[in-house]
Amino acid sequence: MADGSGKRPAVPLSDAVLATLPDSVMRPTYDRSTLHPGIVHIGVGNFHRGHQAWYLHRLMQAGLAHDWAIIGAGVRKGDALMREKLLAQDCLTTLVELDPSGTSAEIVGSMIGFLPVEQDNASLIATMSRDDIRIVALTVTEGGYYVDPKTGGLDLSHHDIQHDIAHPDTPVTAFGAIVAALSKRKAAGLGPFTSQSCDNLQGNGDILRKIVVSLAQATDPELARWIETHATFPNSMVDCIVPATGPDEIALAAQFGITDAAPVTHENFRQWVIEDAFCAGRPDWDKAGAIVTDQVHSYEAMKIRILNAGHQVLANAGELLGLPTIADCMTHATLRAFFRKVQMDEIVPYVAEVPGFTPAAYVDLIETRFANAAIRDTTRRVAFDGSSRHTGFVLPILRDAIDAQGSIAGLSLVEALWARMCEGTREDGSTIESNDPQWETLTIAAQKAKSDPRAWLTQNQYYQELADIPAFARQFETWLRLIWSDGVDAALCAYTTQSA
């Protein structure tokens, strides 16, 4: 029944109301009651529900993969709230696509349950130990893998990891739970499941393998050898801009007649590139548009260097200029010109072509995606954790450019902008709140660098040998002094008017 405005009132999302939703809303055409589980997914956030769960849903819409349904799981206290929200709506999710030409909505039904979130992870371990579970996937964020930054291996000193080593049957981490479940499967004579990282890490499968095997080695070397020999950890590249959910996103779902406590908005682009290494089988994701290939690293390198590093090219300057979103950054003429020049002159030369995309064509695509004003992707979110993102995304390109004796002026300016941002104030004098796990030490170094720019480069955990390369150190110092004396715009203009 319509209200006085002629609009239908929104109804709480559930299986029972799917048939009554407006015709404009796409919904499952399959019988969800007949689905059987095949995947446990740990970390049921927006990205998973708007990306991997959608690919599986599209297969189900085509009458495929009905024995690969997802059971959600989590290991953090905050996951319990997501569980409560999703169980109340039969684990359905409203996806709202934010296309510049208009919005559309689709209900995704590939998830059929959500395990209790428990301190000892008993339900998670028991479910992963079942023979019908053939894939355990994770989206636990880039920083959630307990990687020791010095060695690149498992951080055995972390108190969570120490707990899991001391108490392998009652672990607190997702990785400890995976090891415990694999141990139970081995003891029961079952084969292992595939462990599939869907996080934005270069070589994410290789990293996950290292963490799981190292943790098993610390308690049961024979189990570690069995995992190393029989289990698989496919690498993958994932890509879709998915903003956080707040009141505006909930209101967007309501415009389609749906009351959803946890809707997901997303851009009109997705990409999933997967290495075909699944020891217990997999859904035919390639039939839903995923790319299954042995060239994951090439796709991954293109995305990390052009998109992820490109985000850092924009975000630090955008934060200093008080630009709220990445789309706002792209409407700032000088900042957009800076982005384009750095990409074409200093990033593209160190990116290999992949099937279907030249690096230059990918820059054009990323430019269009970043400029999508319907995506409220905040500059602050993109600038978060620069200590990891500059180290992982920007500095490897800088090293390649130095080795090739290429231009590094723009990349040096990107680092100077990060140093200026970490000082903690915008150009209008407003405060930049803590936005990095290392914010306190970064701010101290940035404040020293105001008068002595090279003090920033003494942070050896980030710059290592780069601090001793005269061409980089000299350009970094010149840019940071210019930013402090004349401002961000002046520095951007000085760079963009340079000849290539």
Q: Which of residues 294, 327, 357 is at a domain's end?
A: 294
In contact, 438 and 384? CB cutoff 8 Å:
no
Can you say whether residue 141 is alpha, beta or left, with left for phi > 0 and alpha for psi between -120 and 50 degrees?
Answer: left
Indicate if 302 and 288 belong to the same structural domain: no
Residue where a domain stops, chosen among 266, 294, 322: 294
φ, ψ (nearest 5 deg) of residue 175: -70, -40
Which strand ranges, in their side-by-side order, compose the sheet holding 37-42? Answer: 111-114, 69-73, 37-42, 135-138, 194-197
Which residue stretches of 157-262 are H helix?
159-166, 174-187, 204-217, 221-230, 247-255
Question: Strands 236-239, 111-114: parallel, antiparallel or unpaired by DSSP?
Answer: unpaired
Question: Are 248 and 319 members of one domain?
Answer: no
Give yes or no for a contact between 140 and 199, defined as CB atoms under 8 angstroms apart: yes
Assess contact for 385 and 143: CB atoms under 8 A: yes
Q: How far apart are CA 421 and CA 472, in angstroms?
A: 19
- Asked whether residue 163 falls in the same domain as residue 144, the answer is yes
Q: Which residue has the tokens 């809707």?
A: 263
Same-domain status, 265 and 366: no
Q: Kindly state the tokens that stand for 366.
A: 């990323």
- CATH code where residue 303 lies: 1.10.1040.10
Q: Strand 194-197 and strand 37-42: pairing? A: unpaired
Give the tokens for residue 161.
Answer: 């990891």
Asked, for residue 131, whether it belongs to a domain, the answer is yes
Measured distance CA(288)–CA(451) in Å, rounded: 55
Distance, in Å, from the CA atom of 457 to the CA atom of 472, rounded to the nearest integer, reads 10
Question: What is the C-alpha to C-alpha distance for residues 356 and 338, in angstroms, rounded to an integer?
Answer: 26
| pLDDT at res. 4 | 34
Contacts of 162 (CB under 8 A, 6+ apart): 156
DSSP string of 243-307, one letter each residue: PPP-HHHHHHHHHTTEE-SS-EEE-S--EEEE----TT----GGGGT-EE-S-HHHHHHHIIIII
Please check whether residues 150 and 278 belong to one and the same domain: yes
- Same domain, residue pair 138 and 247: yes
CATH at residue 19: 3.40.50.720
In a shared domain, residues 419 and 403: yes
Q: Copy the structure tokens of residue 469.
A: 């390369």
Say whether both 164 and 201 belong to one domain.
yes
Q: Cα-flanking dihedrals φ and ψ of residue 150, to 5°?
A: -80, -40
Hey, which residues does 259 pair with through a beta bridge?
12
Does 433 lie in the same domain as 398?
Answer: yes
Burial of 160 (0-12, 13-18, 19+ CB in 10 A): middle
Answer yes or no: do 112 and 37 share one domain: yes
Question: What is the dihedral sign for C-alpha 407, 409, 415, 421?
Answer: negative
- How far is it, in rounded angstroms, from Cα 113 to Cα 86? 9
In a domain? residue 266: yes
Asked if 258 and 349 sit in the same domain, the reply is: no
Distance CA 326, CA 330 (A): 6
Closest of 95, 99, 111 to residue 252, by C-alpha: 95
With beta carbons less than 8 A apart as the criterion, state whether 346 and 339 touch: no
Q: What is the pLDDT along the chain (500 residues), one digit of tens a residue?
A: 343 334 678 999 999 999 999 999 999 999 999 999 999 999 999 999 999 999 999 999 999 999 999 999 999 988 999 999 999 999 999 999 998 888 999 999 999 999 999 999 999 999 999 999 999 999 998 778 999 877 889 999 999 999 999 999 999 999 999 999 999 999 999 999 999 999 988 899 999 999 999 999 999 999 999 999 999 999 999 999 998 899 999 999 999 999 999 999 999 999 999 999 999 999 999 999 999 999 899 999 999 999 999 999 999 999 999 999 999 999 999 999 999 999 999 999 999 999 888 999 999 999 999 999 988 889 999 999 999 899 989 999 999 999 999 999 999 999 999 999 999 999 999 999 999 989 999 999 999 999 999 999 999 999 999 999 999 999 999 999 999 999 999 999 999 998 65
Do 334 and 425 belong to one domain? yes
Q: For residue 175, is it left (φ>0), alpha (ψ between -120 and 50) or beta?
A: alpha
- Residue partners of 469: CB distance under 8 A and separation at least 6: 402
Answer whether residue 339 is part of any domain: yes
**Which residues, listed in sequence order, are joined to residue 365 by a DSSP beta bridge?**
none
| Listed residues 294, 329, 345: the one ending a domain | 294
Q: CA–CA separation, 142 vs 202, rounded Å?
A: 10
DSSP 8-class letter at 12: E
> 3-state DSSP call for residue 170?
coil
Beta carbons within 10 angstroms of residue 24's beta carbon: 9
Are 74 and 80 in contact by the 8 Å Cβ rule? The answer is yes
Q: CA-to-CA distance for 315 and 330, rounded, in angstroms?
A: 10
What distance in Å separates the CA atoms of residue 294 and residue 71, rounded to the nearest whole number? 28
Expressed as residue numbers, the domain containing 427 is 297-496
Cβ proximity of 178 and 194 under 8 Å: no
